[in-house]
């Protein structure tokens, strides 16, 4: 068993135009004052990192780490959630997902995909330069619009979809392997990898690539009515990252998993600040500790009611209080003694 590291915080939802949320130094000072020990950096946020420079310059990465360390923090992981999403986009979503891309590739899906692939590869190189061996991303989606089979999916569509998704990711995963970094896919509705079965299908399509791992975020499992504790039993060897995010699911006679196109605060399935939802984090931390997860516990704040500032203030002690300092002793060692084969035989009556 190993002790989970933390608390850390994903900065994506906290960046803004006002201080301290508009610069790396400002936001680092703020999160350090709240008790966080690490930061997960969204690589699309240029005020936090120059991704291309980080991918090509070890000196730049050393300076970046030193700046973060001056606040008593360390960089836990990098994230390419937005760029990873653009590795695979069904044309039905082109217009909306263009919002994630730079102006020069908008309206050009082929160029947008090439840009996204380069971005994720740069993130692997940057992680290597930073001395980090795990990375957070999304898979993108070619088949999500066929998730609920009406009209019925044509035979062979799913197989072809995962084959194409794997073909797009294999050059990226191979680059991650060269860099010694795991690509951790956040299992997430809206992605082709959105539960355990789809992860397994993708993994098989890649030839069981050794770098295709999992970012575990139980909030997305609650909203699918998926057993988030048994998921750990099934996939603990593949779980290399952990987002600590709460959620609740309150179905009614009017609305359930799909949410009725309602705003977040009216949906049966809602993301909540830590401690305000229904997720059993005590059991999650116990299982992850039992299985030897030694990565970071990273707050991802998304809540339809509480402010991000309050969520961040409450999140650090919440995570700290759930981290288990794993034991190196067996609780009943005091009752034991030296045992030899003769004694074993006598106990057995042999």
- Is the pLDDT at 336 greater than 70, yes or no? no
State the Cα–Cα distance between residues 187 and 178, nearest whole angstrom: 24
Query: Tens of pLDDT along 199-226?
Result: 999 999 999 999 999 999 999 999 999 9
- Give yes or no for a contact between 186 and 238, defined as CB atoms under 8 angstroms apart: no
- Between 350 and 279, whose confidence is greater? 279
Q: What angle do CA 247, 250, 256 make, to 5 degrees?
A: 105
Q: Find the largest Cα–Cα distance for the chain.
A: 81
CATH architecture of 5-347: Alpha-Beta Barrel (3.20)
- Give yes or no for a contact between 98 and 183, defined as CB atoms under 8 angstroms apart: no
pLDDT at 329: 78
pLDDT at 328: 80
Encode 146-180: b = buried (16+ Cβ within 10 Å), e = exposed: beeeeeeeeeeebeebbeebbebbeebbebbeebe
Count CB-CB contacts under 10 A for residue 34: 16
pLDDT at 337: 64
- Residue whose structure tokens are 């997720």: 279
State the Cα–Cα distance between residues 111 and 117, nearest whole angstrom: 10
- Is the pLDDT at 333 greater than 80, yes or no? no
Query: Tens of pLDDT along 151-162?
Result: 999 999 999 999
When pLDDT is cut at 50, 70 and 90, the band that residue 343 belongs to is: confident
- Average of pLDDT values for 311-323? 98
Task: Bin 202: left if φ > 0, else alpha if -120 < ψ < 50, else beta.
Answer: alpha
Q: What angle do CA 329, 330, 334 make, to 5 degrees?
A: 100
State the Cα–Cα distance between residues 242 and 261, nearest whole angstrom: 29
Signed CA dihedral, 29, 31, 37, 40: sign only: negative
State the Cα–Cα distance between residues 340 and 338, nearest whole angstrom: 7
State the Cα–Cα distance between residues 10 and 305, nearest whole angstrom: 19
What interhelical angle do 157-179 and 109-130 show, nearest 10?
Answer: 40
Query: Tens of pLDDT along 28-42?
Result: 999 999 999 999 999
pLDDT at 5: 98
Query: Tens of pLDDT along 65-110?
Result: 999 999 999 999 999 999 999 999 999 999 999 999 999 999 999 9
- Average of pLDDT values for 50-57? 98
Q: What angle do CA 234, 170, 59 make, to 5 degrees?
A: 100
Which is nearest to 315 in space by CA: 324, 325, 327, 303? 303
Pairing of strands 296-299, 239-244: parallel
State the Cα–Cα distance between residues 198 and 179, nearest whole angstrom: 26
Query: Tens of pLDDT along 221-248?
Result: 999 999 999 999 999 999 999 999 999 9
When pLDDT is cut at 50, 70 and 90, the band that residue 172 belongs to is: very high
pLDDT at 248: 98
Pairing of strands 212-216, 134-137: unpaired
What's the chain's average pLDDT?
96
Residue 83: enclosing H or E segment and its boundaries?
helix 81-85
Half-sphere exposure of 214 (CA within 13 A, CB side): 24
**Distance between first and last Cα of the chain:** 36
pTM for the predicted model, two decimal places: 0.95
State the Cα–Cα distance between residues 98 and 145, nearest whole angstrom: 17
- What single DSSP character describes residue 141? B
Least confident of 119-128, 269-278, 312-321, 333-342: 333-342
- Give yes or no for a contact between 84 and 124, defined as CB atoms under 8 angstroms apart: no
pLDDT at 334: 61
- Residue whose structure tokens are 């730049």: 60
* Percentage of the chain lying above the pLDDT 90 cut: 94
- Is the pLDDT at 335 greater than 90, yes or no? no
Could you tell me the residue ranges of all domains in the chain?
5-347
**Strand locations in the chain, DSSP E?**
5-10, 38-42, 74-80, 134-137, 182-186, 212-216, 239-244, 246-249, 269-272, 296-299
pLDDT at 50: 98
pLDDT at 332: 66
């Amino acid at each position: 068993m190993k002790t989970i590291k933390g608390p850390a915080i994903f900065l994506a939802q906290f960046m803004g135009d006002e201080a301290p949320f508009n610069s790396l130094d400002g936001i680092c000072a703020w999160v350090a004052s709240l008790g966080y020990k690490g930061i997960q950096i969204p690589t699309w946020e240029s005020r936090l990192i120059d991704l291309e420079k980080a991918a090509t310059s070890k000196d730049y990465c050393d300076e970046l780490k030193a700046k973060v360390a001056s606040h008593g923090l360390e960089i836990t992981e990098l994230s390419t959630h937005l760029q990873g999403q653009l590795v695979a986009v069904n044309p039905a979503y082109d217009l909306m997902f263009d919002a994630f891309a730079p102006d020069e590739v908008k309206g050009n899906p082929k160029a947008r995909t090439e840009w996204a692939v380069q971005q994720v590869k740069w993130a692997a190189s940057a992680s290597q330069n930073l001395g980090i061996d795990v990375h957070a991303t999304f898979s993108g989606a070619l088949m999500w619009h066929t998730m609920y089979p009406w009209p019925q999916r044509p035979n062979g569509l799913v197989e072809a979809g995962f084959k194409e998704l794997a073909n797009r990711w294999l050059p990226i995963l191979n680059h991650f392997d060269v860099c010694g970094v795991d690509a951790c896919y956040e299992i997430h509705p809206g992605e082709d990898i959105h539960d355990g079965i789809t992860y397994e299908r993708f993994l098989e399509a890649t030839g069981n690539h050794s770098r295709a791992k999992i970012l575990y975020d139980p909030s997305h499992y609650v909203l699918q009515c998926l057993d988030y504790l048994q998921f750990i039993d099934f996939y603990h060897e593949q779980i290399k990252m952990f987002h600590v995010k709460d959620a609740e699911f309150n179905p009614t006679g009017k609305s359930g998993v799909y949410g009725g196109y309602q705003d977040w605060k009216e949906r049966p399935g809602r993301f909540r600040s830590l401690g305000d939802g229904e997720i059993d984090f005590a059991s999650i931390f116990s299982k992850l500790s039992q299985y030897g997860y030694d990565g970071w516990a990273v707050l991802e704040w998304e809540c339809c009611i509480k402010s991000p500032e309050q969520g961040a203030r409450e999140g650090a002690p919440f995570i700290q209080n759930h981290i288990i300092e794993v034991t190196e002793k067996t609780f009943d060692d005091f009752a034991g003694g030296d045992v030899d084969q003769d004694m074993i035989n006598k106990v057995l009556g042999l």
